């Protein structure tokens, strides 16, 4: 049975564009294997305008317009004037896909976008960690009350199946704790320091290749890692916390001498993320640690990420994601879309 699924894309940056490209690439797979005919009926951006087309926006043309730094308005069949929330109300869609930048201190405006989508009767998918940390329970309850789904596989470790693994394959298991490297930028920066590059120069290079933002503090000072620890704790361990509850130390304090001493000891510095129960107390922390060669964290290189879980039924389960990109994040969005569509009649 063919399922005609209308999508509205909130945000069309690197991840949103990668998702659009993946929809084009996987068009036949979606149709032949899952019976899904996906058409994007709305795209709203911060810098390139908005487009509404109930018949479906030509994604190839949309991507070409963005590449040429042109407005998406010329693809619109309906005049629109308003903000993003007005756009959501005006767009007819079945699924809202939210990929706006994260706000690690509050989770807005992504929370408002998803809430507006649920109120309009749309399922919600986001790659944004903010709504997961700051409004997971409220958004989940709102979605359920409306008979809708809230999915966010790409919020932590891009397209690696963490939340879906817990929700499906690990059903019945209890996660007692986790440990890993969740910020790929700092992993790359520390490796550059191991090669003799000062931190400031390493940050500049990471910015040039698109790994670090123009303001690198979210990565370097551990905020990105802390919000991911909060997301895993909130969803997987039913222990809601925010980044402010995470004991957080970034990598600015690591010196060339520290790097040399670790190397002499046969160890490497890593920004280690950790969450779990210890003697009745919940521990949530992000801090630089020296790890030995016997640790699975030791060999996590470049922009790769890794997380291991301790479960009541398994002594350890690890997930490694090697060198992620916007395309891998887009895959997490696609997996969420397929999951949602399986229950749509």
Would you state the pLDDT for residue 344? Answer: 81
User: Are 35 and 91 within one domain?
Assistant: yes
Q: Look up the CATH number of the domain holding residue 114.
A: 3.40.50.720
% of the chain exceeding 70 in pLDDT = 100
**Is 164 among the domain residues?**
no
* 345 pLDDT higher than 80: no
Predicted pLDDT at 79: 87
Would you list the DSSP string of 216-278? THHHHTSHHHHHHHHHHHHHHSS----GGGSEE--STT--HHHHHHHHHTTEEEEEEEEEEEE
26 among known catalytic residues: no
Does the pLDDT value for residue 156 go beyond 80?
yes
Same domain as 176, residue 146: no
Omega before residue 109 within 30° of 0, cis: yes
Identify whether 182 is part of a domain: yes
Per the residue annotation, which of 26, 228, 270, 287 is the catalytic one? Answer: 228
Q: Per the domain annotation, does 166 fall within a domain? A: no
Same domain, 187 and 126: no
**Domains identified in the chain, total number:** 2
Same domain, yes or no, for 308 and 206? yes
Say if residue 220 is in the same domain as residue 283. yes
Report the pLDDT averaged over residues 251-279. 96
Q: What is the mean pLDDT of residues 94-123?
A: 95
Average pLDDT over residues 97-109: 91
β-sheet with 175-181: strand ranges across: 247-248, 281-292, 267-278, 175-181, 305-311, 317-321
- Are 301 and 234 in a shared domain? yes
Beta bridge partners of 177: 276, 310
Residue 67 confidence (pLDDT):
97
Same domain, 10 and 52: yes
Q: Is there a single domain that holds both residue 239 and residue 314? A: yes
DSSP-derived letter for residue 167 is I
pLDDT at position 102? 87
Give me the percent of the chain exceeding a pLDDT of 90: 90
- Residue 337 within any structural domain of the chain: yes
> Looking at the predicted structure, is the pLDDT value of residue 315 above 90?
no
User: What average pLDDT does the segment 21-45 reach?
Assistant: 97
Cβ–Cβ under 8 Å, residues 136 and 242: no
**pLDDT-based confidence at 64, cuts 50/70/90?**
very high
The band of 1, judged by pLDDT with boundaries at 50, 70 and 90, is confident
Mean residue pLDDT across the chain = 95
On whether residue 30 sits in a domain, the answer given is yes
Angle between helix 223-236 and helix 129-145 axes, rounded to 10 deg: 30
* Residue 43 pLDDT class (50, 70, 90 cuts): very high
Following CA atoms 96, 101, 107, 112 in sequence, which dihedral angle do they give, to the nearest 10 degrees?
-40
User: What is the reported pLDDT for 78?
Assistant: 87
Span 231-246, average pLDDT: 96
Give the CA diameter of the chain. 65
Answer yes or no: do 141 and 178 share one domain: no
Q: Are 141 and 154 in the same domain? A: yes
Taking only the tens place, the pLDDT of each residue in 159-215 is: 899 999 999 999 999 999 999 999 999 999 999 999 999 999 999 998 888 788 778
Show the domain range for 63: 3-159+326-341
For the residues of 89-131, what is the DSSP string, one character each? HH---SEEEE-PPP-TTT-TTHHHHHHHHHHTT-EEEE--HHH
pLDDT score for 130: 95
Are residues 216 and 149 part of one domain?
no
User: The CATH number of the domain where 193 resides is what?
Assistant: 3.30.360.10
DSSP 8-state class, residue 295: S
pLDDT confidence bin for 249, thresholds 50/70/90: very high
* 38 falls within a domain: yes
Is residue 165 included in any domain, yes or no?
no
pLDDT given at position 104: 81
Q: What pLDDT, on the 0 to 100 scale, is given for residue 88? A: 98
Span between the terminal Cα atoms of the chain, in Å: 9
Query: Residue 284: what pLDDT?
Result: 98
- Mark whether 149 and 21 lie in a shared domain: yes
């Amino acid at each position: 049975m063919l399922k005609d699924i209308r999508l509205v894309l909130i945000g069309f940056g690197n991840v949103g564009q990668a998702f659009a490209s993946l929809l084009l690439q996987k068009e036949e797979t979606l149709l032949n294997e899952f019976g899904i005919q996906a058409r994007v009926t709305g795209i709203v951006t911060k810098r390139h305008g908005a487009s509404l087309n109930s018949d479906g926006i030509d994604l190839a043309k949309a991507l070409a317009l963005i590449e040429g730094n042109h407005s998406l308005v010329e693809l619109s069949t309906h005049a629109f004037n308003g903000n993003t929330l007005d756009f959501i109300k005006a767009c007819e869609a079945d699924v809202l896909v939210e990929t706006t930048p994260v706000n690690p201190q509050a989770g807005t405006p992504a929370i408002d976008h998803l809430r507006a989508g649920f109120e309009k009767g749309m399922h919600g998918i986001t790659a944004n960690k903010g709504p997961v940390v700051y409004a997971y329970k409220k958004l989940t309850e709102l979605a359920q009350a409306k008979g809708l789904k809230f999915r966010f596989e790409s919020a932590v470790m891009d397209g690696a199946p963490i939340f879906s693994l817990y929700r499906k394959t690990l059903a019945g298991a209890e996660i007692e704790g986790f440990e890993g490297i969740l910020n790929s930028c700092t992993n790359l920066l520390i490796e550059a320091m191991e090669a003799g590059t000062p931190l400031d120069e390493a940050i500049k290079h990471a910015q040039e290749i698109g790994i670090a933002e123009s303001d690198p503090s979210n990565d370097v000072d551990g905020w990105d890692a802390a919000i991911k620890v909060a997301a895993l704790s909130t969803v997987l361990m039913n222990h809601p916390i925010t980044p402010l509850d995470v004991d957080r130390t970034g990598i600015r304090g690591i010196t060339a001498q520290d790097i040399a001493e670790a190397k002499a000891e046969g160890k490497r510095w890593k920004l280690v993320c950790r969450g779990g129960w210890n003697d009745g107390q919940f521990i949530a922390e992000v801090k630089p640690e020296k790890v030995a060669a016997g640790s699975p964290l030791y060999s996590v290189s470049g922009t790769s990420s890794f997380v291991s879980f301790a479960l009541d039924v398994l002594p350890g389960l690890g997930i490694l994601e090697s060198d992620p990109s916007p395309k891998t994040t887009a895959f997490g969005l696609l997996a969420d879309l397929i999951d949602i569509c399986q229950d749509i009649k």
